[in-house]
């Protein structure tokens, strides 16, 4: 991780496979808040590489660093992922660690190619980290509501999967103790002894707005028993969603059991804090109005 040679500042690292739908919007909405974005692409057959090269020519090679990870990577949920050790070049875990190790700054965060930045909240979060400097010794976790088009074509949030990010994504000081490990289901982030705290809703998650609802990279035709095959069926068949922020707040209000678990579980405590922050993060308006008021939606529609 070259911990001692890292520069003061914040890196975002991306792993990209066929992310053309929202890749440009993601990078444009985030790039001003980071010292660099490291975009690592793999097995792309769409326009992702073309988009990255165009944006790199615009922003410069130091601000947007584009890297090709050449090995075949097994997707999460696949038999290949389950059976492949985390240190194999074909492992999703190795791909993630390669991307993290390519960053150059002291603080890093994972950035997906379908995150539309909530600008003011992202600015406040990154400004806070810069002010802390070397005193930054936590993982500042953040989340984003999942967006879905309902049956009428309106922006909404699915009731069965409302929020992306439950303590697994955030800003952290890079050290020898921060890396990804293998789980049969997916990659798992090892944060060492860093305590976690929730710092806000920093993005709108656009995954379910993709033509394939964001499941095209899971190779489900070869892995019909993947947990993601079941998830896709749920997304396609169950369009129960909310159109307003207040209803979203009510739908994620923690149960008595989750409030009890939070007494001993730091993850439940963090998720309770996350869900309680919805109405303080967004006005009680429609989801469409909330998106347009907090993010540059024109980047998506242009």
Q: What is the CATH number of the domain that holds 52?
A: 3.90.550
What pLDDT, in 10s, does the model give residues 150-180?
Answer: 989 999 999 989 999 999 999 999 999 999 9
> Quick one: pLDDT at residue 237?
82
Q: Which domain range does residue 294 map to? A: 7-300
What pLDDT, in 10s, does the model give residues 252-302?
Answer: 988 888 888 888 899 899 999 999 999 999 999 999 999 999 999 999 998
Mean pLDDT of all residues belonging to the chain: 96
- Find the angle CA(129)-CA(52)-CA(153) to the nearest 5 degrees: 85
| Separation between Cα atoms, residue 40 and residue 43, nearest integer Å | 10
Decide if pLDDT at 109 tops 80.
yes
Mean pLDDT of 172-195: 96
Mean pLDDT of 182-187: 94
> Model pTM?
0.96
Would residue 1 count as lying in a domain? no
Total structural domains in the chain? Answer: 1
Would residue 163 count as lying in a domain? yes
> Quick one: pLDDT at residue 164?
97
Q: What percent of the chain has pLDDT over 90?
A: 90
241 pLDDT band, cuts 50/70/90, is very high
| Separation between Cα atoms, residue 125 and residue 103, nearest integer Å | 19
Decide if pLDDT at 8 tops 80.
yes
Would residue 272 count as lying in a domain? yes
What's the longest Cα–Cα distance across the chain? 53
Q: Which of 236, 230, 231 is nearest to 211 (CA)?
A: 236
What pLDDT, in 10s, does the model give residues 18-51?
Answer: 999 999 999 999 999 999 999 999 999 999 999 9
Would residue 140 count as lying in a domain? yes
236 pLDDT band, cuts 50/70/90, is confident
240 pLDDT band, cuts 50/70/90, is confident
Would residue 2 count as lying in a domain? no
Would residue 79 count as lying in a domain? yes
Burial class (CB in 10 A: 0-12, 13-18, 19+), 211: exposed
């Amino acid at each position: 991780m070259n911990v001692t040679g890292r520069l003061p500042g914040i890196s975002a690292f991306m792993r990209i496979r066929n992310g053309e739908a929202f890749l440009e919007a993601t990078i444009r909405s985030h790039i001003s808040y980071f010292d660099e974005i490291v975009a690592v692409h793999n097995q792309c057959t769409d326009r992702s590489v073309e988009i990255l090269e165009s944006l790199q020519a615009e922003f410069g090679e130091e601000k947007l660093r584009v890297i090709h990870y050449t090995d075949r990577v097994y997707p999460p949920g696949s038999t290949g992922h389950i059976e492949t050790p985390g240190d194999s070049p074909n492992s999703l875990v190795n791909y993630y660690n390669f991307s993290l190790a390519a960053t150059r700054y002291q603080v890093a965060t994972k950035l997906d190619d379908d995150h539309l930045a909530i600008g003011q909240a992202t600015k406040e979060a990154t400004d806070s980290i810069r002010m802390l400097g070397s005193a930054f010794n936590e993982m500042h976790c953040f989340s984003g509501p999942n967006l879905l088009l309902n049956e009428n074509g309106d922006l909404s949030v699915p009731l069965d999967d409302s929020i992306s990010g439950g303590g697994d994504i955030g800003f952290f000081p890079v050290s020898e103790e921060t890396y990804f490990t293998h789980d049969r289901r997916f990659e798992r982030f090892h944060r060492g002894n860093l305590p976690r705290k929730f710092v806000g809703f920093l993005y709108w998650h656009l995954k379910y707005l993709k033509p394939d609802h964001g499941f095209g990279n899971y190779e489900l035709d070869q892995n019909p028993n993947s947990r993601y095959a079941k998830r896709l069926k749920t997304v396609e068949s169950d369009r129960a969603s909310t159109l307003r922020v207040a209803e979203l707040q009510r739908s994620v209000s923690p149960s008595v059991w989750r409030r009890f678990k939070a007494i001993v579980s730091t993850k439940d405590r963090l998720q309770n804090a996350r869900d309680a922050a919805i109405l303080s993060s967004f006005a009680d308006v429609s989801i469409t109005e909330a998106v347009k008021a907090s993010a540059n939606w024109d980047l998506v529609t242009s």
